[in-house]
Chains A and B, each alone.
Chain A
């Protein structure tokens, strides 16, 4: 019996720029990846959703603040509340924070400069649908490219997140001023994750690193389990 191809929707907002890379990377990792336009009020039958990077709605007001009200986002909130897998990359992470699906907020980089380079990323947890293929403590090389990746939570919230082990990825060196070098977090239930680095830009050794494939293939496998459960 052949295992079903999981179906993963990539949301397209005006101003997104990494949507095609995400679609390409997921397809290369054996998912059936399809675009979902931001004005859709419902999602097709999906096993996971990816919110790609870019500058949705010009990042006006605050990054992700406007995209959060896109009709498709309401459907994503519903999908996530039902336990659906949602991964937000860069701008997608910012949108998930503004939508209240993930804790904290992404602010202007401490240096005020746009950062664009490969960074070391330490995997803190492997018992999530997004990091199951990684090893605990493993250091991944994945590029970042952002001006507003400085994740922040106040003392109370940060302590809660640590206690619930919601910090999944940390930078191995200072990158943007992010609190305790946080690079990626999950929600309490563990079905929604956001990260600033771009795994979709690191799925082939030709691109300098294939470490991003560990994260995306973890997602594809988890989505496949979902597809199997449904079939």
Chain B
């Protein structure tokens, strides 16, 4: 089963990369309020049902994919 994990800097956590991109976008003439930069992890999970896959990916996030001190994560499962 295909899963996608979105890892984002937590709200209130300074994101210097996002700030740099934000100011570059403004220089290009785009009107943006705020840019935040995270990370996408695409996974092929060995699970038969969605609940099992979600539980497995959650464990991956807790143990490795995100650092809970500064990052939040969101899991999306592809429709089978």
Contact = CB atoms under 8 A, between A and B. Distances in A.
A105 interface: yes
A69 B60 CA distance: 13
B69 interface: yes
A112 B69 contact: no
A160 to B, nearest CB: 13
Contact of A109 (B13, B16, B67): B16
A227 B80 CA distance: 60
Given A112-B16, A177-B14, A152 B67 contact: no
Contacts of B16: 108-112, 177
Nearest to B66: A62
Given A61-B64, A65-B64, A112-B20, A153 B69 contact: yes
A110 B14 contact: yes
Interface in A95-113: 98, 104-105, 107-112
A96 to B, nearest CB: 14
Contacts of B65: 61
Interface residues of A, number: 18
Contacts of B17: 108, 112
Contacts of B20: 112
Interface residues of B, number: 10
A173 interface: no
Contacts of B70: 105, 107, 152
A154 interface: yes
B64 to A, nearest CB: 7
A142 B20 CA distance: 29
A109 B15 CA distance: 10
Interface string B10-33: 000110110010000000000000
Nearest to B10: A154
Interface in B55-80: 64-65, 67, 69-70
Contacts of A157: 69
A65 B63 CA distance: 10
B14 A62 contact: no
Interface of A: 61-62, 65, 69, 98, 104-105, 107-112, 152-154, 157, 177
Given A105-B67, A154-B69, 11 more contacts: A61-B64, A62-B67, A65-B64, A104-B69, A107-B70, A108-B17, A109-B16, A110-B16, A111-B16, A157-B69, A177-B14
Closest 6 pairs between A and B when the two form their complex, measured CB to CB: A105-B69, A112-B16, A110-B16, A105-B67, A105-B70, A108-B16
15 contacts: A65-B64, A65-B67, A98-B67, A104-B69, A105-B67, A105-B69, A107-B14, A107-B70, A109-B16, A110-B14, A112-B16, A152-B69, A154-B69, A177-B14, A177-B16
